[in-house]
Amino acid sequence: MTSRLLVAFACLCTVVTSGVAVRAQALEPIRYTLRFPAPHTHYVEVEAAIPTSGRTEIEVYMATWTPGSYLIREYERHVEAVTATAGARAAAVTKSTKNRWKVTTGGAPSITLRYKVYSREMTVRNNWVESAFAMLNGAPTFLTLVERAARPHDVRIELPAAWKKIETALEPVSGAANTYRAADFDTLVDSPIIIGNPVTREFTVDGKRHVIVFEGDTALIDADTVAADVQKIVDAGKAVMGSLPYPHYHFMTMVTESTGALEHKNSYLGMTNRFATRSRAAYNAFLATLAHEYFHAWNVKRLRPVELGPFDYENENYVKTLWVAEGFTDYYSGILHKRSGVLTKDEFLNFLSNQIEQVQTIPGRLVTPVNMASFDTWIKQYRPDENTPNMSVNYYPKGAVIAFLLDAKIRKATNGSRSLDTGMQWAMQRYSGDKGYTPEQFYAVMSEAAGVDLKSWFAQVAESTEELDYTEALDYYGLRFRPVDVKSAPAYIGGGTRNDAGRLIVTSVRRGTPSFDSGLNVDDEIVAIDDVRVRADAGLAARLAQYKPGDRIAITVARRDRMMKLDVTLGADPGRPWRLEPLPNATAEQTARLNALSEGK
Ligand SMILES: [Zn+2]
C-alpha cells in the first residue's frame, strides 16, 4: 500500500530488490502512454518506458488479482502483441510464466515495452473500452517490474477526439497535459481511471475535494440529489471516525446496467443501472453501496488486517478478519446512510433485519466459523455454487451482525459513553497504515473501548459456529423480533426453483429442510405432485397451498430425463422470523439508546 512508500521516503530507509538494496527516492519512474486508436474494437494500447538499472535482462509481470476482490482472475489472458525496443533496436521478449515476461535489454538504460489489452469486461476489477468511453483498472492494464521497490509510475493518456475528460484519484503531474503520477505500483492498482464525457459534481468538506462521477447512460441520473446526499454521508463518516483520512476522494459510478463496487484508497468504482435514482428502493440500494465503499476509505484501505499489505499481486493473500474489513464496513454503510438523514428509522431497522436474516437462514453458519469463511474466500466467497449456503457463511452479513452486537456491548458496558465508533477510532489510530492488526490486537482494542475483556466473546462469535445471542442487544435497544404466527404457516419443501422455459427446475436444496431430507437434487425437474402435473408458470407455491404442514406427498421429478418419485413430508414455512421491531412497551431509556445509535449521539 501507499503507506509503505511514505515510510520509505520519510526515514530514507532502503528497500531490498532481488538482494540489492536500492534507495527508494532514487528510483526512476516507469512511464506509460495509453492510446485508443480504435476504441470500438475494445483495445487499449499501452507503451511503457521501463528503466533497466543497467541490467541485461529485466522481468515484468501483470497482477493476477485485485485487492478487495479476492479471487485469482488471470488478467494476463487479455494481453497480446507484447514487443520491446531498446533504443532503435528490437529487444527480445520471452514469456516466462503465465503472467510474466523477460526482456533482453542489451545493456540499454531503458526499454520501451508495447502491448495491447482487450478490454471488454464490465466489472469493477477489469477493463472496458468502447467508442463512447473507457474504464480502466490498474491490475489488468499495467505490466510492471518484478520488484518490491516503491517506484513511481506515470501515466499519460492520449484522448480520442470525442472524449473530453479524464476522472481518476491519481495525482495530476503539473505542467504535463493528461498525465498522472502514482507514487508506487500499489497506488496505480488502487486508482481506476474513467475516460470519456462523464457527468460530474463536486463539493468540499474540510477543504478536501470530493468529486461525483457518472459515466455511461447518465440521462436519467439525478446527479444533483446524489451530490447533496453524498455530502451528508461524508459528514456522517467524519463524525464516526473523527476526521477524513484522504487528501481528496472520487465517487465513480458506471451507469452500464451492471452491478458491483470496489473500494480504493481515494476513490471507489461502482456500477449501477440508469434508473438508480428514480425510485426510493433503488436509490437506497445505490447509496448503501456507496456508503459501504466509502467507509472502506478507513476500514481496510487504511485500518487493515496485517496480512493485507504489502500485497503479493501474483498469489492468494490469506486473511482471517475479512468479517471486520467487510462485515463492519457493511454495518457502517447502514449507520452512515441513517445518520446522513437519508434513511428513515424503519428503513434502518429493515437494514439490520436483512443482515440478521441472511445469517440466521444460512445452514452453513453451523458448519464454518466466520474467520474461516474469510480465510477460504479465495475458493468460496467468489465462487459460490448450489451447496455454498449449506457449508459456509457469508462474512459480510455475519460481520455486520457481530458489529451490531459489539456496538451494543460497548455502549452497555460504558453506560453509553463509548460505542463501536470509539473502538474503530482507536483501532485506526493504532493499526492503520503500515502496521495492520492481528485478530488478537483487534479484540484487545475493542475490549479496551468496552472496559471489559471481550476475547472469549470474539472467540465465540468469530472463531466458532455457535449461534449468535441477540438477547443483550435487543434488550439494550428495546427491540424484539416480530412474532410469527406458526399456526397458519403454509406448507413448504424448502428448496428454490426457477422456471426454465416452462420446466420447473430445482435451484437450491438447503440442509434441514424437507427437500434436503427427501433427496430432492439441484437440477431435478419437478414434473408432478401426487401424479398431477405442476406447471412452472403457476409455480410450486400455488400447488403446495393445496396441502398443510405434515402432509405426505409424492413428488415426481425428471433427473437426467429419468422419471422418479420422492416421498416428502411437508414442513411449515418459517416465514421471516428475523424482522426487528421496537418493543410495544419499550422504556424511554431504551428508545433513547436506539436513537443514539441511529442518530450518532
Ligand atoms: Zn466491501
413 alpha carbon – ligand 1 mean position (Å): 29
Reported confidence tier of residue 120, pLDDT bands at 50, 70, 90: very high
Ligand 1 centroid vs 92 CA: distance in angstroms?
A: 42
pLDDT tens digits for range 406-452 = 999 999 999 999 999 999 999 999 999 999 999 999 999 999 999 99
Residue 322 Cα to ligand 1 middle (Å): 9
Q: Are 134 and 120 in contact (CB under 8 A)?
A: no
Span 491-531, pLDDT tens digits: 999 989 999 999 999 999 999 999 999 999 999 999 999 99
Mean pLDDT of the chain: 94
Ligand 1 geometric centre to CA of 291 (Å): 10
What is the reported pTM?
0.94
Per-residue confidence band for 291, with pLDDT thresholds at 50, 70 and 90? very high
Which amino acid appears at position 293 of this protein?
E
Q: Output the CA 3–ligand 1 centroid distance in Å.
A: 20
Given this model, what pLDDT does residue 601 score? 74
Which of 46, 82, 38, 311 has its CA nearest to residue 155? 46
* Cβ density class 435-472: b for 16+ within 10 Å, e for less: ebbebebbbbbbbbbbeeebeebbebbbeeeeebebee
Whole-number Å distance, alpha carbon 285 to ligand 1 midpoint, is 14
- Looking at residue 485, its pLDDT comes to 86
H or E element at residue 348? helix 345-360
C-alpha cell at 228: 447533496
**Residue 398 contacts residue 322 (beta carbons within 8 Å):** no
Q: Residue 381 Cα, ligand 1 centroid: separation in angstroms?
A: 13
Residue 141: which of 70, 59, 66, 41 has the closest Cα? 66
- How far, in Å, CA of 466 to CA of 368, rounded? 10
Strands 261-263 and 128-129: unpaired
- Ligand 1: distance of its center to the CA of 283 in Å? 18
Nearest to residue 491, comparing CAs of 536, 527, 543? 543
Q: 210 C-alpha vs ligand 1 centroid, how far in Å? A: 20
Residues, Cβ < 5 Å to ion ligand 1: 326
Name the β-bridge partners of 559: 562
Confidence of residue 487 (pLDDT cuts 50, 70, 90): confident
- Ligand 1 centroid to 249 CA: how many Å? 17
DSSP 161: T
Which of 400, 399, 586 has the alpha carbon at shortest distance from 476? Answer: 586
pLDDT digits over 7-54, tens only?
333 333 333 333 344 444 579 999 999 999 999 999 999 999 999 999
Does residue 78 have a pLDDT over 60? yes
Cα separations (Å) of 399 from 75, 330, 333, 366, 535?
A: 30, 8, 13, 15, 40
- 4 CA → ligand 1 middle, Å: 22
Average pLDDT over residues 573-583: 95
